[in-house]
């Protein structure tokens, strides 16, 4: 079974600085998808960024980018120019490329604090 590990329970960053959240995963599959979700105090899960395993290019969404190292099974999230609104729980998630009824497997999350 696939597992996702987020080794940083909490992280903090100064406003306007850059922070990197770590995520590693374990799988024997070659076709899969990786995601970062953000959960602010409102509790809604918001998609931040996604990465297809077959793509070598790292995904980028505005201030958010990933460092995807397939061989190392690592998928870190970099937040640039951090803003107060970035404060939230961040969850890394894995999904098999088989699609259909395949579920998301989540890490335990990293709580990000942004200091003014």
Partner 1 sequence: SAVISQKPSRDICQRGTSLTIQCQVDSQVTMMFWYRQQPGQSLTLIATANQGSEATYESGFVIDKFPISRPNLTFSTLTVSNMSPEDSSIYLCSVETGRRGNTIYFGEGSWLTVV
Catalog residues that contact partner 1 under the rule CB under 8 A.
31, 33, 35, 37, 42-47, 50, 52, 91, 95, 97-101, 103-104, 106-109
Question: Taking the complex as a whole, how short is the minimal distance between the CB of residue 39 and partner 1, in angstroms?
Answer: 9
Question: Taking the complex as a whole, how short is the minimal distance between the CB of residue 4 and partner 1, in angstroms?
Answer: 9
Q: Which is nearer to partner 1, 17 or 108 (CB)?
A: 108
Question: Taking the complex as a whole, how short is the minimal distance between the CB of residue 79 and partner 1, in angstroms?
Answer: 20
What tokens appear for 59 in the block? 């995904």
Give the DSSP letter string of 48-86. EEEEETT--SPPEETTEEEEEETTTTEEEEEE-S--GGG
H or E segment and range at residue 13: strand 10-14
């Amino acid at each position: 079974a696939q597992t996702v590990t987020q080794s940083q329970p909490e992280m903090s960053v100064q406003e306007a600085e850059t922070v990197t959240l770590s995520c590693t995963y374990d799988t024997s599959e070659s076709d899969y998808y990786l995601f970062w979700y953000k959960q602010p105090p409102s509790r809604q899960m918001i998609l931040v960024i996604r990465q297809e395993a077959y793509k070598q290019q790292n995904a980028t969404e505005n201030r958010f980018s990933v460092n995807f190292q397939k061989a190392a099974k690592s998928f870190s999230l970099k937040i640039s120019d951090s803003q107060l609104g970035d404060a939230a729980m961040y969850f890394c998630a894995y999904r098999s490329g088989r699609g259909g009824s395949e579920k998301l497997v989540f890490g335990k999350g990293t709580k990000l604090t942004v200091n003014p």
